[in-house]
Structures are given as structure tokens and as C-alpha cells.
Amino acid sequence: MSKISNNIAVKYIRESKQELEKVTWPNQKETTRYSIMVIIISIVLAVYFGALDWLFNKGLEALISLSS
């Protein structure tokens, strides 16, 4: 690796470290709350899309039975 690309890599790592020090990380309570929110939203969306899929399936079955 050339000296220029080595300097670029070191500069990148140094700047990345500086940026990560500016980040405010969530505490355990916030992390738990956000995790629960993600799980609940995922379940709600799964039920919604499952119901939508079931509804479209029944509609398609009805259309197919009409043509038979």
C-alpha cells in the first residue's frame, strides 16, 4: 500500500472515530422502548398484510369460481 493511500485510510479512520464520539447513543430504557415499538409495528403490519392477502385470495377464488 502506498504512503498516500495509507494516509487516506488513517485520516478516514481518525475522522470516523471523531464523528462517532459526537453520537448520542440511546440508553437501555430507550433501546428497550424502541425495540418493543419495532416488534409491535412488525406484528401489526404482518396481521394487516396477512388479512389483505387473505382478502385478495378469497376475491381471486370467487373470480375463478365464476368462470368455471
pLDDT band at 58 (very low <50, low <70, confident <90, very high): very high
State the pLDDT at residue 67. 85
- Does pLDDT of 1 surpass 60? no
Please report the pLDDT score of residue 68 as a whole number: 73
The tally of domains found in the chain comes to 1
Q: Which domain holds residue 41?
A: 3-67
Q: Tell me the pLDDT tens digit for each residue of 8-48.
A: 888 999 999 999 999 999 999 999 999 999 999 999 999 99
Calpha distance 33→26 (Å, rounded): 10
Tell me how far apart the alpha carbons of residues 43 and 49 are, in angstroms, rounded to a whole number.
10
Angstrom distance (rounded) from CA 68 to CA 64: 6
- Write down the pLDDT at residue 12: 92
* Of the listed ranges 3-7, 27-31, 52-56, the one predicted with least confidence: 3-7
